[in-house]
A and B are shown apart, each in its own frame.
Chain A
Amino acid sequence: MKKAKPAPKAVRGAADPAVKKVVARHAGNKGALITVLQEVQAELGYLSGQTIEQISRAMDLPASQVYGVATFYTQFRLKPVGKHLMRVCHGTACHVSGAGKISQALEDELKVGDGETTEDGKFTLETVACLGCCSLAPVMMIDSETYGRLTPDSARKAAKDF
């Protein structure tokens, strides 16, 4: 396949230092793309179109391949997120224990829908399938803090107090 023509300078820009650093760390490792995406996202919060292009160039992979992987896995975000990530579990155990009501309460409290970010940019609300604490259902996580045995009221309180 013929190599694609380099993009005009304005679009290309220099790669973000975070991208450079992460790609350099995994240089020569087979199959490092997912790890690279994970580490870059951890640094930058999300993967913008520009970031994806920079990664593709730095790793010498087609941008379509990088984009394909980034969209396949739910962990990768292509849009910026709020300061804190609020993940409400909708796994089986949480579902039968009233996860729907927890999400409803949080949506009312924060005035956002699933996958949305609050106006002040403080929280992004998400549903996930199982956080592995099923015996404490219903469960949610705010960043790395886990909250178990929730009620709509305690969920609202956790959001207020955080």
Chain B
Amino acid sequence: MRTAAETRKRSSKIPDYRVVVGLGSCGIAAGGHKVMAALKDEIKKSKLNVALAETGCVGMCYREVLLDVYDKAGNLFTYGNMTPERLPRLVEEHLAGHQPVKDWLVRAHNQALPDDSFYAKQKRIVLRNCGVFNPESIQDYMDHQGYQALVKALKTMTPEQVIKEVLDSGLRGRGGAGFPTGRKWQFARDSRNDKKYVICNGDEGDPGAFMDRSVLEGDPHNVMEGMLIAAYAIGADEGYLYVRAEYPLAVQRLKLAITEAKKKGLLGKNIMGTGFNFEMKIKEGAGAFVCGEETALMASIEGKRGMPKLRPPFPAVSGLWGKPTNINNVETYANVSWIILNGGAAFAALGTEKSKGSKVFALAGQIVRGGLVEVPMGITVWEIIYEVGGGIKGGRQFKAVQMGGPSGGCIPAALADTVIDYDSVTQTGAIMGSGGMVVMDDTTCMVDIARFFLDFTQKESCGKCTFCRVGTKRMLEILDRITKGQGVEGDIELLLELADKIKVSSLCGLGQTAPNPVLTTIKYFRDEYEAHIKQKKCPAHSCKELLTYEIIAEKCVGCTACARVCPSSCIAGAVKKPHVIDQAKCVKCGSCVVKCKFDAIRVS
């Protein structure tokens, strides 16, 4: 792809429009490349003077494929749900006829649209460039204050002043635990050694979260600039970007970004003549959740099995290859350039007493506007789900939101006024985590969710600590049996006892937090566990083994649709006569319910 600037140079006059297609992983999955290819064809055919460009994810994943049209004055019109079929009309009416196609607009500078509420409460610091610039162009980044923070730090600030600014900002680590970033940097600075490292943790293990992916894909230079500033502050000359194996596009864009930064003299020896040296390498993960844990991650960079180590010593004292190392999350680094440019106080002005700035969340699950949002700390869970996220899909009932992934927990709808800040979220039993928010409605079974996470942690336990290795397995077996209708009296107590033992006898965060999803669901949804165990019923109608499918004779018209789709041929009945399900043969697959047009199948 040519960058916008290059395309601009080639055409003799300034283009009438600049059209930008969102090509983050989500945009591509929704068909972004097809839209781009079709758009190129259309533009060529129409002979219009239009420049094409691409960008990362703006966060409106629920509207992918997204297409931005900028006019000569720089005014923006965003179109959603674009397909190749829609392009001819768009080109004809908007690009040739100068009349925006109202039906497909999701955002426009000169009119109010329903999707405006998606942005109204957001505060974009980390995501400020995502979906705005071309992530594959260092020039785009530099044209918009890119690397200015690095210049400011290297040329006008001492390392101590940089650390002070970060301390003043109140920035806390966005990787989960929320440790103050400035203090971490200070520890690494205070460790005396001729060799130090900085590491960016892009392992993003929470299954259901994609903040770091979007930032790495959408604004790679911003993350690199944060790392460079951290390296200057602590006195490191080498850095690693550790990226999850499942994120090939992020790796590709980072590689390009590193090459471009080297060419501009922003990486390498004697950067900008200041005597500061820094080299950066990418390490691709190989698929192990535990490698998100910092000591395991460093073992993995060293080419070993990713087994966590006891701390202390902390990485700031003895990290990668035994050298002092500063490790931060992607989003943590992505805040740094803004803080250096705007000052720690400006960052600290946002948020609550102990949680400053903004936080990126990945909204997914049964929510209308699934996507990426960045909101100021101090906003409530309710505001995020209903005002930013547009509420629950299909108008169903909001049941709970899972925060923090396998280390976190479920916050029930009753606690939706919980404020987003490290301490308030922790009080509910969940954790802030890295920003995954999976929203659940009344069709989600809470026992099944607990089982799901235990299944995950049990598989991902590295096996070093007995309780984490075997205890999670025993918990999973109990949960398995409960969801299959074989739960027995005392199972809940047994789960609580095991949870307690695993928490206190595990070395790393994986085991220490693995029971959280079970503990929070028992705390808030104990009645659901009891219904499974005592009545052998799943109130959410989700656990297959506990369901019964029956045909309501009064409603059945005998269309035979269900009988034809049934994989175990257990539905019988004459044409135009009510059908009957043979309960002994029913495999509870639910195919009949999907097929029935008359709402004649009761699930209980």
Pick the interface stretch among A1-9, A116-124, A134-142. Answer: A134-142
Contact call A69/B364, Cβ cutoff below 8 A:
no
Contact call A96/B288, Cβ cutoff below 8 A:
no
Distance in Å from the Cβ of B300 to the closest Cβ of chain A?
7
Which listed residue (B61, B306, B362) contacts A72, Cβ 8 A? B306
B462 to chain A: closest residue by CB: A72
Whole-angstrom CA separation of A133 from B246 in the bound complex: 11
Known: A35-B283, A92-B402, A96-B365. A129 touches B289 (CB 8 A): yes
CB contacts (< 8 Å) of B301 on chain A: these are 31
Distance in Å from the Cβ of A65 to the closest Cβ of chain B?
8
Pick the interface stretch among B102-110, B204-212, B480-488, B505-513. Answer: B204-212
Contact call A129/B303, Cβ cutoff below 8 A:
no
CB contacts (< 8 Å) of A33 on chain B: these are 303-304
Whole-angstrom CA separation of A116 from B122 in the bound complex: 45
B542 to chain A: closest residue by CB: A96
Contact call B286/A38, Cβ cutoff below 8 A:
yes
CB contacts (< 8 Å) of B210 on chain A: these are 130, 132-135
Check: A46 CB closer than 8 A to any chain B CB: no
Distance in Å from the Cβ of A110 to the closest Cβ of chain B?
15
A41 to chain B: closest residue by CB: B286
Check: A160 CB closer than 8 A to any chain B CB: no
Contact call A136/B30, Cβ cutoff below 8 A:
yes
CB contacts (< 8 Å) of B28 on chain A: these are 146
Distance in Å from the Cβ of A135 to the closest Cβ of chain B?
3
Whole-angstrom CA separation of A81 from B478 in the bound complex: 34
Distance in Å from the Cβ of A101 to the closest Cβ of chain B?
8
CB contacts (< 8 Å) of A130 on chain B: these are 206-210, 246
B301 to chain A: closest residue by CB: A31
Distance in Å from the Cβ of A95 to the closest Cβ of chain B?
5
Check: B147 CB closer than 8 A to any chain A CB: no
Whole-angstrom CA separation of A136 from B61 in the bound complex: 7
A148 to chain B: closest residue by CB: B29
Which listed residue (B26, B208, B456) contacts A148, Cβ 8 A? B26
CB contacts (< 8 Å) of B213 on chain A: these are 132
Check: A40 CB closer than 8 A to any chain B CB: no
Known: A96-B438, A136-B26. A75 touches B287 (CB 8 A): yes
Check: B284 CB closer than 8 A to any chain A CB: yes
Check: B3 CB closer than 8 A to any chain A CB: no
CB contacts (< 8 Å) of B462 on chain A: these are 72
Contact call A96/B29, Cβ cutoff below 8 A:
no
Contact call A135/B438, Cβ cutoff below 8 A:
no
Check: A128 CB closer than 8 A to any chain B CB: yes
Interface flags, B214-258, vs A, CB<8A=1, else 0: 000000000000000000000000000000111110000000000
Known: A34-B300, A92-B438, A135-B62. A144 touches B248 (CB 8 A): yes
Contact call A129/B29, Cβ cutoff below 8 A:
no
Whole-angstrom CA separation of A75 from B209 in the bound complex: 20
Which listed residue (B29, B247, B438) contacts A147, Cβ 8 A? B29
Contact call B303/A31, Cβ cutoff below 8 A:
yes
Check: B405 CB closer than 8 A to any chain A CB: yes
Contact call B449/A37, Cβ cutoff below 8 A:
no
CB contacts (< 8 Å) of A149 on chain B: these are 30
CB contacts (< 8 Å) of B444 on chain A: these are 96
CB contacts (< 8 Å) of B284 on chain A: these are 35, 38
Whole-angstrom CA separation of A73 from B306 in the bound complex: 8
Which listed residue (A32, A101, A135) contacts B370, Cβ 8 A? A135
Contact call B303/A73, Cβ cutoff below 8 A:
no
Whole-angstrom CA separation of A33 from B405 in the bound complex: 30
Contact call A69/B26, Cβ cutoff below 8 A:
no
Which listed residue (A95, A129, A132, A135) contacts B363, Cβ 8 A? A135
Interface residues of B in 434-478 (CB under 8 A from A): 436, 438, 440, 444, 449, 452-453, 456, 462
Whole-angstrom CA separation of A149 from B372 in the bound complex: 17
Interface residues of B in 298-324 (CB under 8 A from A): 300-306, 321
Check: B137 CB closer than 8 A to any chain A CB: no
Whole-angstrom CA separation of A62 from B399 in the bound complex: 53
Distance in Å from the Cβ of A107 to the closest Cβ of chain B?
12
Distance in Å from the Cβ of A72 to the closest Cβ of chain B?
4
Distance in Å from the Cβ of A17 to the closest Cβ of chain B?
23
Whole-angstrom CA separation of A36 from B462 in the bound complex: 22
Check: B277 CB closer than 8 A to any chain A CB: no
Contact call B209/A134, Cβ cutoff below 8 A:
yes
Interface residues of A in 18-35 (CB under 8 A from B): 30-35
B213 to chain A: closest residue by CB: A132
CB contacts (< 8 Å) of B453 on chain A: these are 92
Check: A97 CB closer than 8 A to any chain B CB: yes
Whole-angstrom CA separation of A73 from B438 in the bound complex: 26
**10 cross-chain CB contacts under 8 A:** A30-B321, A31-B302, A35-B283, A73-B286, A74-B287, A75-B285, A92-B405, A96-B365, A134-B370, A144-B248
- Sorted from nearest, which 4 A-B pairs have the closest CB atoms? A92-B208, A135-B370, A91-B207, A135-B61
- Please give 14 more A-B residue pairs, beta carbons under 8 A apart, in addition to A97-B365, A135-B364: A31-B321, A73-B287, A73-B306, A92-B364, A92-B365, A96-B449, A101-B590, A133-B210, A135-B363, A136-B61, A137-B365, A146-B25, A147-B29, A149-B30
